[in-house]
Structure 1
Amino acid sequence: MTVYTCAVLTTSDKGARGEREDTSGPALRELLVAHGFKVAAHTLVPDRIEEIHRVLQNWVDQDKIDLIITTGGTGLTPSDVTPEATLPLLEREIPGMAEAMRAASFAKTPHAVMSRGLAGIRGESLLINLPGSRRAALENIEVLLPALPHALAKIKGSPEDCQPGQ
């Protein structure tokens, strides 16, 4: 089994100022490790497009991290800018991933329609934006976990069929 690297970026003004504990980032790291990923990086930055963009770009272009998860900044407040920082980096979006997360969340809360998170590819990396709350972040990534190893293999050029035996 291939071990993929991952990184978690928490975006939070209050977290960056030390006014709020980051609970979603550590919970995501723990879940990803439990599913066989190797955590290569984790950091917290304020809700600033330039800072978010810089970290994501470095993790993809320099560190070649396979899976990059962001948590926070996907809502409707003026400081929620994670999708705006992510979109210019993406070479290809994967709308089905974002749609699946929103659909699963909508079954639990009507507020899911306000999530603006994206998923997409840059190089051989998969980037996924998650909500900032611990519960919502975990619920959203759990929707995608079964598909992530195959998605990463395909992104890296695996010739394996999507439905073996058919």
Structure 2
Amino acid sequence: MSGAGRYTIGVLTLSDKGSRGEREDESGRIVREMVAGLGEVTRYQVIPDEEELIVRTLVEWADRDGLDLILTTGGTGLTPRDVTPEATARVIEREVPGMAEAMRMASLQKTPHAMLSRAMAGVRRHSLIINLPGSPKGVRENLEVVLPALEHGLAKLKGDPSECAR
């Protein structure tokens, strides 16, 4: 396949309240809207901040479903229930630190709280997994930072042999 719209995408929202139906998942909605040009969101789920459940879901989406891109929202801060980075670290085979660094760097221009983010990005098999913040504003601002690199990164991950330099 070629061109935009060729990738399968999963959006995983980590929220205790959201998983119980006590909060609308605005952040997940924003992610789905922002990545619409990259492909189809074929998996979407809101689950509680439980490390083992997050691990199982990420592995299932990467290994069984073969999703190209998995975006998580929530669980990247400092509260005891924020375990998304730990779950992601257990799942990925290779880290992509530049994505998390770029998100933090851009966010630091807006708030000093950005340095508290523990978000990470990495690859499992042929799936790129990126942690995003849980707030609607934070998820939008962070996804805007990495979105321009996603098409190229996903193409490379899928084996695109073309040269990176132009």
| TM superposition score normalised by structure 1 | 0.96
RMSD of aligned residue pairs (Cα, Å)? 0.9
Could you tell me which residue of structure 2 aligns to residue 106 of structure 1?
Answer: 108
Which amino acid in 2 is paired with 1:11?
A: L
User: Could you tell me how far apart the structure 2 residues matched to 1:137 and 1:36 are?
Assistant: 17
Query: Letter of the aligned partner of 1:21 in structure 2?
Result: E
Counterparts of 2:151 and 2:18 in 1: how far apart (Å)? 31
d(CA) in 1 for partners of 2:76, 2:159: 30
Aligned equivalent of 1:8: 11
| Alpha-carbon distance between aligned partners in 1 of 2:163 and 2:122, rounded to the nearest angstrom | 20
What is the rounded CA distance, in whole Å, between the counterparts of 1:150 and 1:134 in structure 2? 25
Matched, 1:17 2:20: yes
Q: Give me the whole-angstrom Cα distance separating, in 2, the residues matched to 1:21 and 1:75.
A: 20
Matched length: 163
Q: Write the deviation string for residues 67-105 of structure 1: whole angstroms up to 9, x where unpaired.
A: 000000000000000011111111100000000000000
The ranges of structure 1 where at least 4 consecutive aligned residues each deviate by more than 2 angstroms after the TM superposition are none
Counterpart residue number, 1:117? 119
Listed one character per residue, the Cα deviations across residues 21-58 of structure 1 (whole Å, up to 9, x for unaligned) are 1110011101111x232111100000000111111110
Task: Measure, in 2, the Cα distance between the counterparts of 1:160 and 1:117.
Answer: 30
Q: Partners of 2:76 and 2:112 in 1: how far apart? A: 15
**2:61 equivalent in structure 1:** 59
* Alignment partners' CA distance in 2, 1:26 and 1:41: 13
Asked whether the 8 Å contact 2:38–2:151 carries over to 1, the reply is no
Identity between Structure 1 and Structure 2 (%): 58
2:48 equivalent in structure 1? 46
Question: What does residue 90 of structure 2 align with?
Answer: 88
Q: CA deviation at 1:153?
A: 1.1
Do residues 27 (structure 1) and 30 (structure 2) align? yes
Give ranges in structure 1 of 5+ residues lacking alignment.
none
| Whole-Å separation in 2 of the counterparts to 1:86 and 1:36 | 22
For residue 158 of structure 1, report the CA deviation from its aligned partner: 1.3
Which amino acid in the other structure matches residue 147 of structure 1? Answer: A
Residue pair 2:121, 2:128 contacting (<8 A) in 1 also:
yes
TM-superposed CA distance for 1:20, in Å, is: 1.4
SS in 1 for 2:35: helix
* Alpha-carbon offset, residue 148 of structure 1: 0.4
Structure 1 Cα separation of the partners of residues 165 and 39 of structure 2: 23
